[in-house]
Structure 1
Amino acid sequence: MKLGSKIHLYSSVLFAVLLIAANTTVYFVFSGMMIDREIGKLAAETEIAAAALRNAAEPAAIRELMRAYVPLEGMLRLVNGDGRGGEYLVTSAGETELSREGAVFFSERREDKLVIGSRNYGFVSLPVIAADGSIVNVQATASMEELMELLGLLRLVLFSVSAAVLVPVVISSGVLGRVLMRPISDMTRTMRRIIGSGEFARLNRKGKSRDELAGMGETFNEMIGLLEESFVRQEQFVSNASHELKTPLTIIESYASLLKRRGADRPELLEESVEAIHSEAVRLKGMTEQLLLLATARRAWQAETEKVDLLPFARQTAATFGKVYEREVAVELRGTGPDRQGKAERMGDAFVDLEDGLSTRTDPDMLKQLLLILLDNARKYSDGPIELRLGSEGERFYMAVRDNGIGIPENELLLVFERFYRVDKARSRDGESTGGAGLGLSLAKELAKALGGELTLASVQGEGTTATIWLPAI
């Protein structure tokens, strides 16, 4: 059964049950009150009759009083303690059949509703002391047929009203089911269209409703937007990755083929070919490692944190990097932000207190990898000394790598974090391709997030670029 049909059925049945329960309650409460009211009236009339008969001693006087107090449609009689009640019994003109009912003596007051034949009666029995000192019952029986007819009319009215109300309820519940199902049906059709065409589509949102269904539609559109963006990025990633991997493989294959054809005849090609193959193999290995790391969910990266003194850590990393690439890396402590003008002394001569306080908890291996990526980028795109600035600002420490290269255009600052994005080769120090795959900054940004920090980039064309690692202080 479809959800809309379930809503239609369940809401109709629920409302019908509630309506029937409400009308049944109304009927029984009203009928009980009316019956009690009628019996109460009969009891009051019987008490008046009993007060008058209590003092009557003559049989003729008793009969006259009984004729005066007999109910309009009923019977009045006196019943002795031995159960005899035939001597003093009076009925109204239309209720002579009541005289055939046997007399029963009750020692206590009694009020009840009786069914005699097919008719309903109210019955009241009052024990009183007669003039001769004996205890007798003054019993009155009155017809309640008029009340029963009124209650029957009430049942008919409630039934008719219930039937009349259920018709629009069934119709409205069907409309309600369709209204509630419309956004879900639209969503289902949209998803089927996406599956059939392979193209992403969004729901057409009409109106300004802010209910849960409208929220679900907006969330669906947001999800489709994220999926579309992710799909486009994935396609671009696969395309770029295949292109980037194809280049070194082609070079390796070409030089290997050259060696195979002419290596024996031309030994001078051996060194050139081996160097080219080795260089491309190293590049291919680094690119593959970066791709594998980027393909791993960041939550799967196991960061093993420990206390790290940032200044000795930065000096050691800078020294290692400088020896490998024969580039000068100047380590500085600064009292202001990494991109601001302010007092800065090499090796902390004027900042001994700051030097002692630059400690945080982080993963040293991941932080070293992140710092080496930034230093390597600075090496590729500048030819002067590289500055590594350390300091604190607010509740955070920073490590800023600054080069004096040409810089990055403002409209490309955010793009450089995209995978496989590379700026123009004119930014390199020699005007040629640096050989990078465009994965370094993308990986660096992910590493910074994994460490609980942030990576920012600032650049001024003609002056240089500053990449800053922000880390939480202990």
Structure 2
Amino acid sequence: MKLGNRIQVYTTGLFIILLVMISAAVYFSFSKIVYDSDVDQTRVEVERIVSGINERSGDSLSADVLRAYVPANGMIRLVLPDGTSEVSLTGGNQENLIEQAYPYEAGEKAEVRSFEGVPYAFVSIPIVWTNGEVVSFQLTRSLEATAQNLSILRIVLVTVAVLAMIPFFLSSRLLSRLIVTPIHSLIHTMQQIRGSGQFKKISYEGKSKDELVQMADTFNTMIDQLEDNYQKQEQFVSNASHELKTPLTVIESYASLLKRRGKQEEELFQESVEAIHSEAKRMRELTEQLLLLARKEEHWDVQFESIELSRLLQTTVASFEKAYQRKVELRCTQEIHLTTDEQKLKQLLYIFMDNARKYSEEAIEVNVERKENHVAIRVMDRGIGMSQKDLEKVFDRFYQVDESRTEGYGLGLSLAKELAHALRADLQLSSEKGSGTTATILLPRSEDSHLQGV
């Protein structure tokens, strides 16, 4: 069953059940009140008749005397203790009541009885008869008029219930359409996306902020993100293929040379092996960087711990100077404690110092400045620098400022951006063409950070 039909059936069915329950409660409550009122009136009438009989106790009582008390729509009967009827008098057209069973009632009794499908108010009171014997004085009064009124009430309640169902059925149908229409639009849009392979959004009108509009907004936002990620993925695959093509071509060419002439020419053999080894190393480094960039943030396995920043910088700078034989000037006169991942921060520093090494020939500077809420680590070089246009794209994957350089893959700053996000740090990059570049790492200070020697 479709959702719209299910909503309509469930809401209409629930309304019908509630309407039937309310109507039934109204009918049975009203009928009980009316019948109890009729029984009470009959009891009052019996007490009035018995009072009149007691006043005439000195006179001889007969059926003719009791006939004056017979109701127009009922019967008076005197029942002896042996179950026989002393007197049975009916009024109007109630002769059929004579055939009604008449057991002797020793105490008072008042109830509604049904005889031949007609309700009657029955009241029985014990009285002392003329011979001193206690008899059961019974008065039966027809409640046919009350039954007819209740029948009219039933018809009215059923009619009102049926008439109330019509607008409710129409409103439930309108409600189901209101709910299902955006869902149909969502399904249709998704089917179009699946069939055409193109990203599309849900078109809707109105300024309401209900859940259906929020669903449409969420879907459109998701489509924007998917389209953006899809474009980035296409660009990533295209750039990765382009970057891998060159080392593979070099390896294939030198492998072919080795196959043809490697055994005869020793120099060619050494050159080919060296080239293949170099390109294989480049491919491994490129693959490792691609895998790091492909990781999600939760898979970075960041281990936050309290570290002393000056010690970390000294060991990092010393390792870099030995590896690349480049002078690095470190200025950190403050003892600063941070809560961060030591290895990830080292990796981030290596990326910026390696970029400074590639694009400058002079010494690299690493300065530390302690701010109120954060610590700034600046890596500066006096190299070729870059333009504002390059600064806007430098964090994009595979983007290289100087295309003539073969060193690097354009992935370092993209990886640095991901590392900084994992470390909850901010990156700032400033540069001027021909004057050098300054990369700033802004790390949040830990609560126990303190300053000494200032």
Answer whether TM exceeds 0.5 for this pair. Answer: yes
| Cα distance in 2 between the residues matched to 1:60 and 1:148 | 39
| Cα distance in 1 between the residues matched to 2:184 and 2:86 | 81
Q: Which residue of 1 aligns with 2:361?
A: 383
| Cα distance in 2 between the residues matched to 1:208 and 1:174 | 23
Q: Which residue of 2 aligns with 1:344?
A: none
* Contact persistence 1:408–1:465 (CA under 8 A): no
Q: Which residue of 2 aligns with 1:141?
A: 140
Q: 1:59 to 1:93 in 2, by over 3 A?
A: farther
| Cα distance in 2 between the residues matched to 1:43 and 1:391 | 104
Deviation of 1:61 after TM superposition, in Å, equals 5.4
Q: 1:470 to 1:413 in 2, by over 3 A?
A: farther
Where 2:36 maps in the other structure, the secondary structure is helix
1:28 paired with 2:28, answer yes
Question: 1:240-282: CA deviations, max 9, x gaps?
Answer: 0000111222234345555666767876666765655444333
Deviation of 1:43 after TM superposition, in Å, equals 1.4
Q: Which residue of 1 aligns with 2:439?
A: 466
Where structure 1 has 5 or more consecutive residues not aligned to the other structure, the ranges are 334-347, 426-431
| Cα distance in 2 between the residues matched to 1:424 and 1:69 | 124
How is 1:149-298 mapped onto 2 (pairs within 5 angstroms)? 149-257=148-256, 276-298=275-297
| Cα distance in 1 between the residues matched to 2:350 and 2:281 | 17
Question: 1:386-429: CA deviations, max 9, x gaps?
Answer: 2222243334334332223454444544532221122245xxxx
1:14 paired with 2:14, answer yes
Q: Which residue of 2 aligns with 1:448?
A: 420
Deviation of 1:173 after TM superposition, in Å, equals 2.7
1:370 paired with 2:356, answer no
Deviation of 1:203 after TM superposition, in Å, equals 0.4
Deviation of 1:289 after TM superposition, in Å, equals 1.0
* Contact persistence 2:376–2:440 (CA under 8 A): no
Question: 1:189-236: CA deviations, max 9, x gaps?
Answer: 111111111101010021112221211111111111111111110000
Q: Which residue of 1 aligns with 2:377?
A: 399
Question: 1:63-101: CA deviations, max 9, x gaps?
Answer: 5663343222001233344444423x4321211222343
Where structure 2 has 5 or more consecutive residues not aligned to the other structure, the ranges are 449-454
Where 1:111 maps in the other structure, the secondary structure is strand
Higher deviation after alignment, 108-117 or 226-235: 108-117
Question: 1:433-471: CA deviations, max 9, x gaps?
Answer: 252211111111222233x32231231424532231424
| Cα distance in 1 between the residues matched to 2:358 and 2:54 | 127
1:422 paired with 2:424, answer no
* Contact persistence 1:413–1:457 (CA under 8 A): no
* Contact persistence 1:304–1:362 (CA under 8 A): yes
Where 1:466 maps in the other structure, the secondary structure is strand
Q: Which residue of 1 aligns with 2:452?
A: none
Question: 1:105-162: CA deviations, max 9, x gaps?
Answer: 3222211111122322111112345677653433211101111111111222222222
Q: Which residue of 2 aligns with 1:321?
A: 320
* Contact persistence 2:39–2:111 (CA under 8 A): yes
Higher deviation after alignment, 291-300 or 265-274: 265-274
| Cα distance in 1 between the residues matched to 2:139 and 2:218 | 76
Deviation of 1:325 after TM superposition, in Å, equals 2.1
Question: 1:21-65: CA deviations, max 9, x gaps?
Answer: 221222111111111111111112222222222232256556566
Higher deviation after alignment, 135-144 or 93-102: 93-102
Q: 1:281 to 1:469 in 2, by over 3 A?
A: farther
Identity %: 41
Q: Report the TM-score when normalising by structure 2.
A: 0.88
Where 1:433 maps in the other structure, the secondary structure is coil
Where 1:75 maps in the other structure, the secondary structure is strand
Where 2:75 maps in the other structure, the secondary structure is strand
Where 2:394 maps in the other structure, the secondary structure is helix
Q: Which residue of 2 aligns with 1:341?
A: none
Amino acid at match of 1:224: I
| Cα distance in 2 between the residues matched to 1:395 and 1:132 | 115
Deviation of 1:13 after TM superposition, in Å, equals 1.9
Amino acid at match of 1:465: T
| Cα distance in 1 between the residues matched to 2:67 and 2:414 | 112
Amino acid at match of 1:184: I
Q: Which residue of 2 aligns with 1:436?
A: 408
Amino acid at match of 2:424: G
| Cα distance in 2 between the residues matched to 1:447 and 1:80 | 108
| Cα distance in 2 between the residues matched to 1:70 and 1:409 | 119
Q: 1:210 to 1:62 in 2, by over 3 A?
A: farther
Amino acid at match of 1:14: L
| Cα distance in 2 between the residues matched to 1:317 and 1:180 | 61
| Cα distance in 1 between the residues matched to 2:444 and 2:252 | 44
* Contact persistence 1:79–1:103 (CA under 8 A): yes
| Cα distance in 1 between the residues matched to 2:120 and 2:100 | 13
Where 1:200 maps in the other structure, the secondary structure is coil
Q: 1:107 to 1:276 in 2, by over 3 A?
A: same
Question: 1:149-182: CA deviations, max 9, x gaps?
Answer: 1111122222222223333433433333222111
Q: Which residue of 2 aligns with 1:118?
A: 117
Amino acid at match of 1:121: Y
Q: CA RMSD in A?
A: 2.7
Higher deviation after alignment, 296-305 or 204-213: 296-305
| Cα distance in 2 between the residues matched to 1:244 and 1:376 | 20
Where 2:76 maps in the other structure, the secondary structure is strand
| Cα distance in 2 between the residues matched to 1:205 and 1:9 | 27
Higher deviation after alignment, 39-48 or 391-400: 391-400
Amino acid at match of 2:429: A
Q: 1:332 to 1:131 in 2, by over 3 A?
A: farther
How many residues align? The count is 445
Higher deviation after alignment, 272-281 or 133-142: 272-281
Q: Which residue of 2 aligns with 1:49?
A: 49
Amino acid at match of 1:283: R
| Cα distance in 1 between the residues matched to 2:315 and 2:220 | 50
| Cα distance in 1 between the residues matched to 2:191 and 2:182 | 14
